[in-house]
Amino acid sequence: MRTTRQERRRTLQRSAEARVPPAMRGPVALSILPALVLFALFFLVPLGVLAVTTFARWDGVDFAFTGWDNYDRLLSDPVFWKSVRNTLFYCAASMLIQVPLGVAVGMTLALRMPGWTVFRTVIFIPFVISGAAYALVFSMFYNPSYGLLNNLLGPVTGGTRDWLFDSGTARWAVAGTFVFIIGFVVVAVMAEVAAIPAELLEAAEADGASLVQRQLFIVLPLLRNIIGTVILVRLLVDIGMFDLVYILTAGGPNDATTTLALYAYRSYLHGQWGYANAVGSVILLLGATLIVTVRRVFRIGERAL
């Protein structure tokens, strides 16, 4: 394994040397310098600050290193674990409902049935609405006094329910606001389907494969790369989910909807900046783990054909 890596590095080095003539290396290095400086200033420095301050008690005024105290506290903090569970719940909702639904709709629309362009536009519109505006709309939708949901369900359930502030339904109500926003998945899938060589599908049709068989056994496997990518994008959004929950419930009731990002923000508001950064480091770690896992599972980047 090590030999392979070394060989790959040498190959890359040789190919770089071949591409950049020696006389040009100075100007090339100079041209990427501003980007490097900005990267260091706005990414590496904050990352370093985040990493260092997770080992400190810091409220913006007083700063003292406290070793692993913040991480010890995280492990025994029930609200933190609730936040982890809630964040993973939202991730699961995206993976199990939003993405499959988006893929199914995208594959169907890619068949270009009558009216598909209108349908695609209608589905895509919610995606471009800001999260804050969406949250406000849904806070009215779920309102127990005048909300549409209670008006629709009232005749069936015989009463009203405060969907957002009942611990039994709050998390589902929050997830319900975003799992049906499938515009991005639909458009990405449609673009990928359009890139599948028509000969493949024609050959399958000539061999007697039905439409469903062609979709399930030819199109769907070829969407592996894009499905992995949209799952990755969705998970990264869900791991940092903040505005939707903040506006809808502020994390309540009894932290039933709190996410890691919201919990970090609350800790920051409470002057526990070191602890907030420890939560932030968990978000980073979780994000990195999910990226690696999804890339491996879906073999993102490897050619399907």
Residues that bind another protein (CB under 8 A): 25-26, 29-30, 33, 37, 40-41, 60-61, 139, 143-145, 160, 162, 164-167, 250-256, 266, 268-272
As measured in angstroms, the least distance from the Cβ of 187 to another protein is 34
As measured in angstroms, the least distance from the Cβ of 60 to another protein is 5
Residues whose CB is less than 8 angstroms from the CB of residue 98 and which lie 6 or more positions away in sequence, other chains included: 178, 179, 180, 181, 182, 185, 234
Q: What is the DSSP letter of 209?
A: -
Q: Which is nearer to another protein, 152 or 269 (CB)?
A: 269
Residues whose CB is less than 8 angstroms from the CB of residue 211 and which lie 6 or more positions away in sequence, other chains included: 111
Q: Is 1 helix (H, G, I), strand (E, B) or coil?
A: coil
As measured in angstroms, the least distance from the Cβ of 10 to another protein is 19
What DSSP string runs through 133-174? HHHHHHHHHT-TTT-HHHHHHHHHHSS---TTTSTTTHHHHH
Q: Which is nearer to another protein, 265 or 298 (CB)?
A: 265
As measured in angstroms, the least distance from the Cβ of 149 to another protein is 13
As measured in angstroms, the least distance from the Cβ of 258 to another protein is 8
Q: Which is nearer to another protein, 191 or 250 (CB)?
A: 250
Angle in degrees, CA 249, 261, 47, rounded to 5: 160
- State how far the Cα of 279 lies from the Cα of 259, in Å rounded to an integer: 10
As measured in angstroms, the least distance from the Cβ of 110 to another protein is 42
As measured in angstroms, the least distance from the Cβ of 171 to another protein is 13
As measured in angstroms, the least distance from the Cβ of 15 to another protein is 19
Q: Which is nearer to another protein, 26 or 155 (CB)?
A: 26
Q: Which two tokens mark 262? A: 């919201």
- State how far the Cα of 222 lies from the Cα of 107, in Å rounded to an integer: 12
Identify the CA nearest to 208 among candidates 217, 197, 220.
Answer: 217
Residues whose CB is less than 8 angstroms from the CB of residue 117 and which lie 6 or more positions away in sequence, other chains included: none
Q: Which two tokens mark 248? A: 């809808």
- State how far the Cα of 94 lies from the Cα of 102, in Å rounded to an integer: 10
| Gap between the terminal Cα atoms of the chain | 26
Dihedral sign of CA atoms 190, 195, 200, 206 in order: positive
Q: Which two tokens mark 218? A: 């030819």
- Residue that the structure tokens 């006094």 belong to: 145
Q: Which is nearer to another protein, 33 or 133 (CB)?
A: 33
The secondary element (H helix, E strand) that includes residue 58 is strand 56-58
Q: Which is nearer to another protein, 269 or 297 (CB)?
A: 269
